[in-house]
Amino acid sequence: MKTEKKFISLNITVLTISDTRTEAEDVSGKLLAKNIIDSGHQVFEKKIVRDDLYQIRAVVSSWIVDTDVNVIISTGGTGVTGRDGTPEAIAPLLDKTLEGFGEVFRMLSYDDIGASTIQSRAIAGVANATYIFCLPGSSGACRTAWEKLIKAQLNHQTRPCNLVQLMPRLLEK
């Protein structure tokens, strides 16, 4: 008889990257936090920072070294304008990238926004055994990424495999 794996609740941080949004206006950050909690995980911390390379890196770096943080999800700053710098801020911090995340995210987004999906530079990876997902700032994009990609991969019960089952091995040398 096959026994069902027990759900593992993760500590997930949410970082909204925006030069204009306040906590009251942070629709995407609130949506992610609600989805995290509704899925049985914990929102370990939630912050808003300006779209500034060094402010982004400072917050994300502090979460990467915190052994209580399992996952970091950012929203905003993945577009192509001069102020969009999330991928440039995060990519140098990653030990490994998950190229498939951005590819599949854009494929799924195509159903909603068509060719405009090429403007997204969503990325994901792992740093110091912490998974990092960088999402666009729109709530629709955050919903798509959570519901169609991230939620299942952060559920230890997902078959045939998931990111949670790999967590004990992330620091192997």
Task: For 100-114, write each residue's pLDDT tens digit.
Answer: 999 999 999 999 999
Interatomic CA distance for residues 138 and 97, integer angstroms: 23
| Residue 1, in any domain of the structure | no
Determine, yes or no, domain membership for 4.
no
Is residue 6, in this structure, part of any structural domain at all? no
69: phi > 0 → left, psi -120 to 50 → alpha, else beta; which?
beta
In a domain, 62, yes or no: yes
Give the pLDDT band of residue 3 (cuts 50, 70, 90): low
Average pLDDT, the chain: 95
Predicted TM-score (pTM) above 0.85 = yes
Question: Which residue range forms the structural domain that includes residue 65?
Answer: 11-167
Does 102 map to a domain? yes
First-to-last C-alpha distance (Å) of the chain: 35
What would the mean pLDDT of 88-106 be, rounded to a whole number?
97
pLDDT at residue 47 above 60?
A: yes
Question: Is the per-residue pLDDT at 39 higher than 80?
Answer: yes
Phi-psi category of residue 77: left, alpha or beta, with phi > 0 → left and psi -120 to 50 → alpha: left
Tens-place pLDDT, residues 125-159 = 999 999 999 999 999 999 999 999 999 999 999 99
Contact 101, 122 (CB under 8 A): yes
Taken in order 40, 68, 137, 150, is the CA torsion positive or negative?
A: negative
Q: Do the domain assignments include residue 95?
A: yes
pLDDT of the residue at 48: 98
Query: Does 25 reside within a domain?
Result: yes
Strands 130-135 and 123-127: antiparallel
pLDDT band at 75 (very low <50, low <70, confident <90, very high): very high
Q: How many structural domains comprise the chain?
A: 1
CATH number reported for the structural domain that contains residue 158 in this entry: 3.40.980.10
CA distance 9 to 60: 21
Angle at 148 between CA 2 and CA 144, to 5 degrees: 160
One-letter amino acid at 27 equals V
What pLDDT is attached to residue 5? 82
How many helices (H) and strands (E) are present in the chain, helices listed first? Answer: 6, 6
Q: Does residue 36 carry a pLDDT above 90?
A: yes
Does residue 172 lie within any of the structural domains?
A: no
